[in-house]
Amino acid sequence: MQNNPIAAGGTLNVLFAAAEADPFVKVGGLGDVAGSLPNAIARLSNTGELASRVDIRLVIPFYPQLKDKTFQLQPVASYNIKSVNGPVRAEVFSTDFTGITTYLISGEPIQRTAAVYGTDFKSDGEKFIFFSLACLALPHALNWRVDVLHLNDWHTAAAAHLLKYAWTKPSELKHTRTILTIHNLPFMGNGAEQGLAKYRVRPARNRILPKWGRHLPLPMGLAAADRIVAVSPTYAQEIMTPDYGCDLQEFLSTRQAQISGILNGIDQQSWNPATDQEIETNFDSVNLDQKKINKKALLKEFDLKQKTDIPLLILVSRMDPQKGVDIAVEALKLIQVNPWQAILLGTGDHRLESACKDLEDQLPQRVRAVMQFDTKLSRRLYAGADMLMMPSRYEPCGLSQMIAMRYGCIPVANATGGLVDTINNNLDSENATGFLSSEISIESFSQTLLQAIETYHDKKRWQQLVRSAITQDFSWDRSAHQYFHLYMTLAGKNVQ
């Protein structure tokens, strides 16, 4: 590491590569992370809160839909990516729209379809293999030394593999170290085999990897990356177990020393009940009584009885089996003799949407099901509801529970992944913030809901829960500091 420029001081250069980033393009949680974390690191660097200056730059694909966006772009580079069918041209544009330099890479595989993630896995595979190769060629085209290449999920994971096994490396990548963040292990890049072959990407060499994993982008990247980060400490442990390891647990256990967990954060300026313009009345930890006004407005909006002494439960979720929506629906049926009201919001799996609508039909006086994606409504739900149901079967990190707590809405969740790391369910402590079901089952979750409802009627204890929840710090600054320390460690510089 003696020849690494950053080891002797100076600016740390980081290239952060992802398939999506808000506000350019956002499909899921990865868009939140890539849209917030690099900016948080840059902000801390600019204010002198980090031990060294960080020049962090974001790179994402230039999807067709981005051509209609209003930000200004400058062409900065153009180069060829080799394939068995001849060179494929990559065009690179840059913008400072969000306050940090962002590169958008275009090329025929990226422009072929409008969808960020399509239904044609082979086309998606080629698109992201091309993007990974183009990311590796970018530093040389820019004449910009990269100390840390931060990759995210399978869409960019092949870059770690390619960098490690490259015969020759340009000077800009000679000392580059790689981090691969796992946001969702089950998505490994199935269908990318043809794309890997087209761009002459050889299989992974690690014989501890299952044979099938040697030909998929995410396992290939996991075998090659210098460090692996899961999006919560608990998920970092879970992926090394049979229940969550997706048949990679034995391999991941061999890399345990290189695996860590860093929680995602939320934008606490955007998600702020004291300033949110979408809710009925603003409030904070000092004037929590104002939250009741939001609850009354919500009950009126959905034509539910104005009974503020009855807990209002919400579900704000993608309709997906992973999220345990069916567990919530069946658990509510089991406790229907108890007093509660519920509003369910989300879209996705048609069977789960139907289950939510059926529950409304069965309990029309107390349940409302809104099967759509509505961010403005979600804000009113968080601000007005008493409890958020989050019965995920697995949850690498989760953001909804953090947002809910920010609005004084108490999470009732399953004890898995990031939910364990963000929800304190020790009700004997003044720092308790929610409820965790110890088993992932309908019966266990229904009992946890009953416990939450019982606690709700103890006004003193409930107020303490709400006050503790609303004052939690889930800002990106915490995550940014942790990633900075990891960057510096990889770059060979000691950090106090």
Is the bond into 411 cis (omega within 30 degrees of 0)?
no
Q: Are 231 and 36 in contact (CB under 8 A)?
A: no
Same fold, 5-265+476-490 and 288-470: yes
Residue with tokens 């085209």: 141
pLDDT for 67: 87
pLDDT for 411: 98
Query: CA 361 to CA 368: how far, in whole Å?
Result: 9
DSSP states of 342-401: EEEE--B-HHHHHHHHHHHHHSTTTEEEE-S--HHHHHHHHHH-SEEEE--S--SS-SHH
Query: CA 309 to CA 278: how far, in whole Å?
Result: 24
Query: CA 166 to CA 184: how far, in whole Å?
Result: 27
Which pair of structure tokens corresponds to residue 387? 């409890």
pLDDT for 118: 85
Q: What sections of 108-181 are H helices per DSSP?
A: 108-111, 121-142, 153-164
Q: Are 271 and 279 in contact (CB under 8 A)?
A: no
Burial zone of 128 (CB within 10 Å; 0-12 exposed, 13-18 middle, 19+ buried): buried
pLDDT for 496: 43
Which residue, among 407, 406, 411, has the nearest Cα to 395 in the 3D structure?
411
**Residue 415 burial (CB count, 10 A):** 18
Query: CA 330 to CA 101: how far, in whole Å?
Result: 48
Which residue, among 379, 283, 299, 374, has the nearest Cα to 340 in the 3D structure?
299
Alpha-carbon torsion 205, 211, 217, 222, what sign?
negative
Which residue, among 374, 324, 378, has the nearest Cα to 352 in the 3D structure?
324
- For 296-345, the pLDDT digits (tens) are 999 999 999 988 789 999 999 999 999 999 999 999 999 999 999 999 99
CATH number at 288-470? 3.40.50.2000
- The angle formed by the CA atoms of residues 416, 422 and 427, to the nearest 5 degrees, is 95
Q: Which residues of the chain have pLDDT under 70?
A: 1-9, 493-496
Q: Are 27 and 160 in contact (CB under 8 A)?
A: no
Cα 105 off chain centre by: 22
Query: CA 182 to CA 391: how far, in whole Å?
Result: 21
CATH number at 5-265+476-490? 3.40.50.2000
pLDDT for 493: 66
* Domains of the chain by residue range: 5-265+476-490, 288-470
